[in-house]
Amino acid sequence: MAFAAIISLLLVFPVFTSALPKRDTSQAAWDALNKTVNGQLYTAIPFARPCFQSSSLAGTFDEAACQSVQANYLNATVRSNTFATYMASQSETCSATGAQCYLDWQNVTNPAAVSSSETCSQGSVSTHYIDVKKASDVQAAFQFSSKTGVPLVIKNTGHDYAGRSSLANSLGLWSHNLKSKTFNAKFTPQGCPAKTTFPAATIGAGVQTAELYEYADQQGITIPGGACVSVGIAGGYLQGGGHSWLSNIYGLAVDRVLEFEVVTPTGQHLFANACQNTDLYFALRGGGGGTFGFVLSATMKALPKASYISVEVTYTSTPDTLKTFLSFLISNAVKWSTDGWSGQIRPGAKLVLTAVNTTEAAATAYFSDLQGVAQSIGGAFSVVTTPSYLAFHNKFIVPDALNELDGIPQTVGSRLISAQTFSNSADELLDSLVNIVTNSQVSFIFANAPFSFKQDASLGPASVNPAWRNSLWHVVAGAGWTFDTPASVQSIIYDSLTSGIDTLRNITPSSGAYLNEADLHEPNYSESFWGSNYDQLVQIKKKYDPQHLLDCWHCVGWKGAADASFSCYL
Ligand SMILES: Cc1cc2nc3c(=O)[nH]c(=O)nc-3n(C[C@H](O)[C@H](O)[C@H](O)COP(=O)(O)OP(=O)(O)OC[C@H]3O[C@@H](n4cnc5c(N)ncnc54)[C@H](O)[C@@H]3O)c2cc1C
Ligand SMILES: *[C@@H]1O[C@H](CO)[C@@H](O)[C@H](O)[C@H]1NC(C)=O
Ligand SMILES: *[C@@H]1O[C@H](CO)[C@@H](O)[C@H](O)[C@H]1NC(C)=O
Ligand SMILES: *[C@@H]1O[C@H](CO)[C@@H](O)[C@H](O)[C@H]1NC(C)=O
Ligand SMILES: *[C@@H]1O[C@H](CO)[C@@H](O)[C@H](O)[C@H]1NC(C)=O
Ligand SMILES: *[C@@H]1O[C@H](CO)[C@@H](O)[C@H](O)[C@H]1NC(C)=O
């Protein structure tokens, strides 16, 4: 209450909003915050701290603790249960200064990473964090930040490629332990007419993909999520768009979210859906995480359990076969997407396309020409039925280690490829893809843009870039580096990904990129991530976060790369 009053005063007298009060980071201020959040305030110590002799941070070298860190250094489960770790591990560091607390991820016992000349530093890991349990914890944090000027960052699983869930010298809000899950066969969003019901699951913001899939399977429902099982569902994944292998069939995650439970930076705890707080509902359906408020939970439409027919091609590429195969895919992509096939292509290795409501015999006949091409390049073709989404996921997605690369410094670049590009610029698309695939450490073609999916008009529009709807493919290239790669070389890696994707940008001028899997230096990021929705998103940001308590890299209305908050970025 008092908080809301302070905010409205600030709104009435804008002169006071121009300068935030001086930072008060005294122990007394932290202790008071800790009391308000019932002792859920913690200091964050870098994960590998016990392996270092040299550090000014709390803690000491500890052989046994270090061995446990080594054993779990690349373990996605342990990492996501630990606040001070990030999937793309450069988010733990201050890239620009080289301050880090790394082991050698390629050899976790390599003494060179922890020798006495190496110092374990805090990097971009928050100094403190709150293990969020309820709305009042978040309200206390916004109030604390507003009063003291200590910046905030929201962290869920730490999978963001652009480091949006870490921030040097900040207070972190950790949503990881919000693990509630409930299924309601007749869910009515708050404020909607009682006759409006959906089968739906409400999940806490900390629920991760694997947990959702197990739960949905037990309930006899389907809720698609992403490929990486340790990514969160309701955090950055959903708020940025959220594609699955089957999103050409089922839409993006934002197409199936019915309601968000949110604490806004102004301290309001509210429910946003198609009937109330509709501007916030729109913004959270693609505007990006960490920007409009702290999402406590989200309610996702539950689809019935279904069985899936998948065609799979595996092959080993040579430059010739790569070109033959990609060329064939390009000439058939519009047809396949229109007919409801959705999946993933690993250029030079394999393809999986999946549909519902068909049969193995019909799929075999439909893809007879694909089978012919697969054989001509020495590949294997098969058609497989899986009886549920979980079975589909376990069969096709889990075995691929590239879907889980936790604890490795890495980056990506990407582009959404519009349907017109496949007819207007097929040759350039082929050349560009061959070039990207050949010159990238890893590359993916997600043949899963929601091209044939029909949106539920009753939910109103989502704020993801409308370019998603005209696209067939989301092309991603990635690169990683070693624990001791100098900042200058990391910059070269970032730059070469940016220029590597330029050939795709040139032939898709009115398209865009997926903000959750985008180039760190995406050109024209606001147009690229949100297209015509950007201006409206900026207005909504101003309404719900008038003091600008939340900010992140290339997020709606951010302060820009020159702001001191982003001085660790390259
Ligand atoms: C290996 C791998 C595979 C991936 N596969 C897919 C895929 O198949 N499909 C897909 O769409 N994406 C995929 N992604 C991208 C993924 O969507 C993003 O990494 C996403 O940001 C992860 O969200 P998170 O909340 O788990 O991560 P975090 O890094 O913790 O958070 C990401 C952003 O959301 C904000 N945020 C987190 N929680 C909340 C909250 N409760 N309220 C408000 N803001 C919040 C953070 O502040 C940050 O800005 C993949 C990423 C990786 C690393
Ligand atoms: C917060 O309070 C709890 C319980 O009193 C205590 O265990 C914890 O160390 C405190 N956190 C900090 C950062 O002081
Ligand atoms: C990762 O850690 C979890 C939790 O300790 C453990 O159950 C799992 O087996 C580990 N995974 C691997 C691949 O070691
Ligand atoms: C890892 O480093 C240790 C210490 O230098 C070395 O003995 C070991 O052979 C290395 N292991 C690998 C797989 O390179
Ligand atoms: C598949 O068939 C079911 C049952 O007839 C139907 O409800 C569903 O909409 C169909 N799905 C698609 C993607 O066509
Ligand atoms: C960025 O947008 C402007 C204005 O729309 C356009 O002129 C320019 O070519 C774009 N630049 C890139 C690199 O896409």
Taking CA atoms only, the protein residue closest to ligand 6 atom 10 is 524
Distance 232 CA to ligand 3 centre (A): 18
CA of 469 to the centre of ligand 5 (A): 20
Give the ligand with the smallest distance to the CA of 39: 2
For residue 484 the two structure tokens come to 């001791």
Ligand 5 atom with minimal separation from the 250 CA = 13
pLDDT tens digits, one per residue of 225-280? 999 889 999 999 999 999 999 999 999 999 999 999 999 999 999 999 999 999 99
Mutate to test the pocket of ligand 4, among 107, 108, 483, 484 (most ligand atoms within 8 A of CB): 107
Give the list of residues 6+ apart from residue 358 with CB closer than 8 angstroms, or none.
309, 366
CA of 406 to the centre of ligand 3 (A): 13
Q: Please indicate whether residue 259, judged by its CB atom, sits closer than 6 Å to ligand 1.
A: no
Tell me whether strands 442-447 and 342-346 are parallel, antiparallel or unpaired: antiparallel
Q: Is 53 in the pocket of ligand 4 (CB under 6 A)?
A: no
**Pairing, β 171-174 against β 152-155:** parallel
According to DSSP, the residues that pair with 43 across neighbouring strands are 128
**Residue of minimum CA distance from atom 13 in ligand 2:** 42
Give dist(CA 170, CA 158) in Å, integer. 15
558 versus 17: the higher-pLDDT residue is: 558
Atom of ligand 4 nearest to the CA of 112: 5
Which CATH code of 3.40.50.720, 3.40.50.1000, 3.30.1600.10, 3.30.465.10 fits the domain covering 181-305? 3.30.465.10
Torsion on CA atoms 309, 517, 227, 279, rounded to nearest 10: -90
At 343-392, the pLDDT tens digits run 999 998 999 999 999 999 999 999 999 999 999 999 999 999 999 999 99
- Residue 74 CA to ligand 3 centre (angstroms): 10
Give mean pLDDT, residues 408-432: 97
Tell me the CATH class for 308-532. alpha beta
Cβ–ligand 1 distance for 159 under 6 Å, the answer: yes
Question: Which of 48 and 10 is assigned the larger pLDDT?
Answer: 48
CB 352 within 8 A of CB 396: yes
Q: Would you put residue 462 in left (φ > 0), alpha (ψ -120 to 50) or beta? A: beta
pLDDT of residue 20: 45
What angle is formed at CA 271 by the lines to CA 269 and CA 277, rounded to 5 degrees? 105
**Distance (Å, whole) CA 172 – CA 174:** 6
Tell me where in the chain the CATH 3.30.465.10 domain(s) lie.
181-305
Residue pair 143/267 in contact (Cβ under 8 Å)? The answer is yes
Backbone angles phi, psi at 402, to 5 degrees: -65, -15
> Ligand 4 centroid to 110 CA: how many Å?
6
* pLDDT for 12: 36
Segments of the chain assigned to CATH 3.40.462.20: 308-532
Strand partners, 353: 311, 343
Query: pLDDT (tens digit, 9 = 90+) per residue, 270-323?
Result: 999 999 999 999 999 999 999 999 999 999 999 999 999 999 999 999 999 999
Nearest residue (by CA) to ligand 4, atom 6, is 110
